[in-house]
Structure 1
Amino acid sequence: MLIVLVLAALTPASPPELSARAASVTSVPSGFRVEIEVANTGRQTAASVEVEGVLTPPAGAPETAAATLDYVPGGGVETLHLLFREDPHQGRLELTVRGWSEP
């Protein structure tokens, strides 16, 4: 047990490694709410995590929504929501983590 603790203390913390995925879509009066899970597989915390979603419907112009999480801890998962007018099930939704800062 002591060896594990010493190794963990001596191992440099890996930088944030962030990814975003759509967990669910819910119809709401203003359109559609997409629940987004943002995972950090790195060991360092990421602050002010900006996530953007671009929904490209079968016909019409792409629609963009964005939100910012206060932080995502190392090894953690946080949730945010994006709102769209069109149904994401009927188009292509691309999610991008646009950036973050060090806390």
Structure 2
Amino acid sequence: MSQTNELTNGKKEQQQPKRTPAERVTFGAASFLLAVVVSLVGYTWLNEKHQPPVLSVSNKTIREVNGQFYVPFEVVNTGGETAESIQIMAELQMKGEVEETGDLQIDFLSSGEKEEGAFIFRSDPRQGQLTIRVAGYKLP
């Protein structure tokens, strides 16, 4: 009898229970999600830009309100890394002399991000030479 039990136990151990359709679907979905996550991590790692921030400033249409001139601008980071404490400076020259200056600070600008702002002048910038530029930034 003990020999029969050993054979029966051996057959039971060798037979694996069949998986139900629900188990198969769950395993397939989990495997698919894992493959997607691994692929996205690999894609991000391979395509990551290791370039410093590249900041550019462009000004928009000047408008006058209550005797003050608003000069809107846009700063864009086209580089690969985030920039912090970005300093934007504006200088208005009239007849070769600096008439007014202004500076602004933007907290941070990540890759591909843009930020808008405006400088306000008492004199009409259209009557002189207006320069808006990025003066500096720091890396996080």
TM band (smaller chain): 0.7 to 0.9
CA contact (8 A) 1:34 1:82 kept: yes
- Is the CA contact 1:34–1:81 (under 8 Å) kept in the aligned structure 2? yes
Is residue 2:77 matched to residue 1:40?
Answer: yes
Looking at structure 2, the residues matched to 70 and 57 of structure 1 have their Cα atoms a distance apart, in angstroms, of 31
| Cα distance in structure 2, aligned partners of 1:43 and 1:12 | 5
Find the structure with the greater CA-based Rg: 2
**How far apart, CA to CA, are the structure 2 residues paired with 1:9 and 1:68?**
31
- Structure 1 residue 56: deviation in Å? 1.0
1:56 alignment partner, one of 84, 93, 100? 93
Q: Which runs of 5+ in 2 are unaligned?
A: 1-38
| Higher-helix-fraction structure | 2
1:15 corresponds to:
52
Q: Distance in 1 between matches of 2:42 and 2:105?
A: 35
Structure 2 counterpart of 1:82, one-letter code: F
TM-fit CA distance, 1:100: 1.0
Note the residue ranges of structure 1 that are not aligned, 5 or more in a row. none
Is 1:82 paired with 2:119? yes
Identical amino acids, percent of aligned pairs:
32
List per-residue Cα deviations over 1:47-82 (Å, max 9, x = no partner): 111000001124764311111111112112111111
Matches of 2:67 and 2:104 in 1, distance apart? Answer: 17
SS in 2 for 1:63: strand
Distance 1:90 1:99, change over 3 A: same
Q: Pick the structure with more strand per residue.
A: 1
What's the TM-score, normalizing by structure 2? 0.63
Deviation at 1:30, TM superposition (A): 5.3
After TM superposition, where is structure 1 displaced by more than 6 Å over at least 4 residues in a row? none
